[in-house]
Amino acid sequence: MSIGLAVFPLPSATGGRRLRWHAAFTLVELLISMTILVILMLVVTQVVGIVQRNWVRTNARVSQFREARVAFDTITRNLSQATLNTYWESANDPLRTDAAGQQVSKATKYFRQSELQFVSGPTSQVLTAASGSSSNYPGHAVFFQAPLGITRLVALSGAGTGTVANTENMVNLLCGRGYFVEWGDDLPYRPKFLSELGNSVPTRSRIRLMEYSPTAEMNRIYSDGYRLIDPTNRTLVTNSRQWFQDALTNIVKENETVASRAFTRPIAENILALIISPQQEINTSTGSTASNAYSIAPQYLYDSALVTNPGATSSGGAQGTQHMLPPLLKVSMIAMDQRAGETLSSDSELREAVLTATSALFKQAAQYEKDLEGTDTEPGTLEQLLVDRKLNYRVFTTTIALKQSRWSF
């Protein structure tokens, strides 16, 4: 037996026609929906803002580190070609005078000689003009010669006629080259139209990696006033480090031309320090320790004109390390991102603290890890300094084997 429910339509006030009721939102439901929608829009707006800020920060960091990577590759590539072009010189004892009146002598010993020079070390010690303001030149500098073939970009009057050598196609000519870090503004080389606007466009101050690159024709180490080896007394070294001392004054200018190209110019911004550690290979078969690797330059300073570098123990007899390239160069570069560079530029107190602390580091090669990145249990001094001040950075490091070192005693 089934029970059914009958539904009868109610009579209509409009002549018996049935009324149809349509579903609709109430005012309360609309208010709740709008509130939820506003909350979602606020959340989405905040997420988009965070993503945008992170993208801008990441893009700036990637762009800056891309520039730093290119500069680092340039340094390592050019350093790997460094040469001293050494040759053997003999010390002679006179024996007699022959019938023609010529002196007859015998060689008593042979020693290396070179008219070229390799110098690396703290910038304030390498460049004389930087010694009084070491905080503006943190890290190290390096100067050397290499067959880079950089020549004048315009032909000299008389070139090809026999009066002046045409060097345009001499791609292996020796050139001087150098790198160091400097804090300063862009006033010397900003575009001319900005200078004409006066103070309406402020100068841009940054910590920059500078490249010293005179042309082969201006390799001053061959000039009479800068020769490393005295021409009359071949065993006497003179004018050491003088050929690159114009690196701080011969800077690119706004009005320079192809014919008046300056030798020093920036190649990367926001480079906090350049670290050069000359080292020798470790012979583990003889029981040598890692500390012997940097024994040729324990204070980072390496000068191929010196028999013994500061702090190093004498080795190799009277020759020492004179006129010899280090077998290995450990090269490190600390780069900051764009935002960190702007922070240093705008906050003079922070800048002074960071640059002063950085210039005080990297004096002893044995303290390299402690000064830079630290160990697994203890952070490095520079790393802690940058992290505490919320400055984003990246460290580039490599070890270069100098093929022209000719390392033997």
Q: How far apart are CA 68 and CA 143, in angstroms?
A: 20
> Which strands make up the sheet holding 264-269, listed edge to edge?
264-269, 206-212, 175-184, 140-146, 119-122, 302-303
Range with the poorest average pLDDT among 48-57, 251-260, 368-377: 251-260
Q: Burial code of 53-82, b = ≥16 C-beta within 10 A, e = fewer?
A: eeeeeeebbeebbebbeebbebbbebbebb
Confidence of residue 409 (pLDDT cuts 50, 70, 90): very low
281-304 burial code (b ≥16 CB/10 A, e <16)? eeeeeeeeeeebbbbbbbbbbbbb
Q: Give the pLDDT band (50/70/90) at residue 35.
A: very high
What the block records as the tokens of 123 is 């910038």
Give the mean pLDDT of 156-180.
72
Q: Looking at the predicted structure, is the pLDDT value of residue 375 above 90?
A: no
Instruction: Report the C-alpha gap between 242 and 399 in whole angstroms.
Output: 28
Residue 190: what pLDDT?
78
Q: Which residues contact 355 (CB under 8 A, 6 or more apart)?
A: 135, 136, 138, 183, 207, 344
d(CA 188, CA 185): 8
d(CA 386, CA 394): 10
Structure tokens at 249: 């004054």
Candidate from 54-63, 105-114, 277-286 with smallest mean pLDDT: 54-63
Query: Which pLDDT value is given to residue 284?
Result: 59
Residue of 359, 243, 374, 385 whose CA lies nearest to 300: 359
Calculate mean pLDDT across residues 111-138: 92
Residue 126's pLDDT is 95
- At 288-343, the pLDDT tens digits run 555 688 889 999 999 999 989 999 876 656 778 889 999 999 999 999 988 899 99
Which range is least confidently modeled, 31-45, 274-288, 302-316? Answer: 274-288
Find the helix packing angle between 338-346 and 27-79, rounded to 10°.
Answer: 90
pLDDT value at position 9? 56
Q: Which residues pair with 87 in a beta bridge?
A: 113
Q: Could you give the C-alpha distances from 380 to 103, 309, 368, in angstroms and in order?
A: 63, 27, 9
What are residue 63's phi and psi, to 5 degrees?
-65, -45
Mean pLDDT across the chain? 84
Judged on CB neighbours under 10 Å (0-12, 13-18, 19+), 106 is exposed
∠ Cα 92 96 98 (to 5°): 115
pLDDT at residue 19 in the model = 54
| pTM (two decimals) | 0.79
pLDDT in tens, 193-237: 776 776 777 888 999 999 999 988 888 898 888 989 888 887 788
- CA 118, CA 198: separation in Å to the nearest integer? 42
CA–CA gap between residue 99 and residue 348 (Å, rounded): 78
Q: How long is the chain?
A: 409
Q: Give the pLDDT mean for 65-91.
A: 90
Q: What is the pLDDT of residue 150?
A: 79
